[in-house]
């Protein structure tokens, strides 16, 4: 094998052979000892950005990254296993109430999650707002918690798909992140390494999502569902709207508090609906059509019981007060009328500037920072009344956050005809199996 031959083949639009892909990923995973330089892999990734990959190539690429590390063995569990992955959004805290709700319905959920970067929040950052909670579990600890509690949300260990970790860091600095085959293979190699029997994907579309339009989200969803099928994992996807923040809280402890409202039988309608729909898909994918409904688990308190057990099992105190930011500032509605625009991307950037997110992986985050929304598109608002409340520990962060929000809001007169771009995307756009 010769890496230059592989680069030029893909540059010229050829389909890489299974042997070429296996050799390439195995050698690159070895680091410098493997003999493939970062600049060579960067060149190949750019060729993939331009030329794409066939379904067979993507499946093989994913499998090669999967084989570069460990794979959890969940065969000994006495429950069907199922998991969910979201491509990320603003205010997306669905994992927090969803995982215990599905556990309460009889499934085991090994939810390996990540941290936030850029304008989107990370599940682990949110959960670390709970005093004492720890994200790191060994494979043995994870299996024990799945047996005893039924679910866990934790960080992926370094032994799962290490080739992807190295490749993702390279793509991040070489302008090759935006490739559906590479995105799909990156996500699915880690998810398949969990060893779960079923997987539901929440692929988001809109300004606050990585995929800005429905067509791109559909391509990504179909590619990932195909990868799952090719690797024997029952996989389905929902394409969901993310041009408006999900729920009414954006920020780590603020989102935990909102998740607790859902677990207590309340919470914002959009968040509750998405949790229930994703939960039903997870149970169906796991082959549990007669299982308890997730909506019932939220109403009767069994989801809350599962949440408390999960938090305590990872060292957290489910009764401890959540952190609160030291400073708050209200953003008033600019006019009286109907709120017709609340841009998710701008809200996510503002929350990051308040301290809720990070630009670099090593940046710290503030547990209490974030934004609370007092209205969503379609609601009537009054000039001067609070529209948003900004939370931060550093008052110097208020002005940069306000700058991010400068064009995020539109209020229209109640009798005005709708603007062409005023209709938000549906919460659930499409289902793909």
| Contact present, 98 and 275 (Cβ < 8 Å) | yes
Q: For the packed helices 18-29 and 3-11, what is the interaxial angle rounded to 10 degrees?
A: 120
β-bridge partners, 327: 392
Q: What is the spatial distance between Cα 137 and Cα 72, in angstroms, rounded to a whole number?
A: 13
- Burial class from Cβ neighbours inside 10 Å (0-12, 13-18, 19+) for residue 175 reads exposed
Query: What single-letter DSSP state applies at residue 364?
Result: -
CB 193 within 8 A of CB 231: no
Backbone φ and ψ for 108, nearest 5 degrees, come out as -100, 135
Q: Which residue has the tokens 């009328």?
A: 337
What is the phi/psi pair of residue 95, to 5°?
Answer: -55, -35
202 is known as an active-site residue: no
| Per annotation, catalytic residue among 119, 190, 280, 341 | 190
Please state, in angstroms and as integers, the Cα–Cα distance from residue 364 to each residue in 82, 212, 282, following that order: 31, 27, 33
Is 119 designated active site? no
Residue 417, class by beta-carbon neighbours within 10 Å (0-12 exposed, 13-18 middle, 19+ buried)? exposed
Greatest Cα pair distance, the chain, in angstroms, is 68
> Cβ distance 371 to 389 under 8 Å?
yes
171 is catalytic: yes
Instruction: Considering the candidates 179, 186, 207, 366, report the single residue annotated as catalytic.
Output: 186
To the nearest 10°, the Cα dihedral for 288, 291, 295, 300?
-150
Active-site position among 164, 202, 243, 343: 164
The angle at the Cα of 202, spanning 344 to 276, to the nearest 5 degrees, equals 95
Q: How many CA atoms lie within 13 A of 216 on its CB side?
A: 15
Give whole-number Cα distances, 4 to 8, 14, 32, 228, 298, in Å: 6, 14, 16, 30, 55
Task: Tell me which of 60, 84, 85, 126 is the catalytic residue.
Answer: 85
The structure tokens 């995973």 sit at 29
Q: Is 85 noted as a catalytic residue in this protein?
A: yes
Angle between helices 55-67 and 214-230 (to 10 degrees): 60
Distance CA 362, CA 251 (A): 18
Q: Which positions ≥6 away from 311 have C-beta within 8 Å?
A: 127, 130, 133, 317, 318
- How crowded is residue 51: how many other Cβ atoms within 10 Å of its Cβ? 16
Identify the active-site residue in 10, 165, 171, 391.
171
Is-catalytic flag, 391?
Answer: no
Q: Which residues are catalytic?
A: 85, 164, 171, 186, 190
């Amino acid at each position: 094998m010769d890496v230059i031959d592989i680069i030029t083949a893909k540059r010229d639009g050829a389909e890489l052979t299974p042997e070429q892909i296996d050799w390439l990923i195995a050698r690159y995973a070895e680091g410098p000892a493997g003999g493939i330089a970062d600049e060579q892999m960067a060149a190949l990734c750019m060729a993939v950005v331009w030329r794409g990959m066939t379904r067979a190539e993507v499946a093989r690429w994913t499998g090669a990254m999967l084989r570069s590390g460990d794979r959890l063995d969940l065969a000994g569990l006495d429950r069907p296993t199922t998991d969910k992955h979201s491509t990320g959004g603003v205010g997306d805290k669905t994992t927090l109430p969803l995982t215990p709700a599905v556990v309460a319905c009889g499934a085991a959920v090994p939810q390996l999650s990540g941290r936030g970067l850029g304008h989107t929040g990370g599940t682990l950052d949110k959960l670390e707002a709970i005093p004492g909670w720890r994200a790191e579990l060994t494979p043995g600890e994870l299996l024990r918690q799945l047996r005893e509690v039924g679910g866990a949300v934790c960080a992926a260990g370094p032994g799962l798909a290490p080739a992807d970790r190295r490749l993702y860091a390279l793509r991040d600095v070489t302008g090759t992140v935006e490739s559906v085959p590479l995105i799909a293979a990156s996500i699915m190699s880690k998810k398949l390494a969990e060893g779960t029997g079923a997987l539901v994907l929440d692929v988001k579309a809109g300004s606050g999502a990585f995929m800005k339009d429905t067509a791109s989200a559909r391509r990504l969803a179909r590619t990932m569902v195909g990868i799952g099928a090719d690797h024997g994992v029952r996989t389905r996807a929902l394409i969901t709207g993310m041009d408006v923040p999900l729920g009414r809280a954006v920020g780590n402890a603020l989102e935990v508090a909102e998740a607790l409202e859902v677990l207590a039988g309340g919470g914002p309608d959009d968040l509750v609906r998405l949790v229930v729909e994703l939960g039903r898909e997870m149970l169906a994918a796991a082959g549990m059509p007669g299982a308890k409904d997730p909506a019932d688990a939220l109403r009767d308190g069994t989801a809350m019981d599962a949440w408390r057990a999960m938090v305590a099992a990872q060292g957290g105190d489910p009764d401890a007060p959540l952190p609160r930011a030291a400073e708050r500032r209200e953003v008033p509605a600019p006019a009286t009328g109907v709120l017709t625009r609340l841009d998710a991307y701008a809200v996510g950037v503002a929350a990051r500037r308040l301290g809720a997110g990070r630009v670099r992986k090593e940046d710290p985050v503030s547990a209490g920072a974030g934004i609370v929304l007092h209205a969503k598109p379609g609601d009537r608002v009054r000039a001067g009344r609070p529209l948003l409340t900004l939370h931060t520990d550093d008052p110097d962060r208020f002005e940069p956050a306000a700058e991010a929000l400068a064009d995020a809001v539109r209020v229209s007169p109640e009798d005005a005809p709708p603007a062409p771009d005023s209709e938000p995307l549906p919460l659930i756009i499409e289902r793909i199996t």
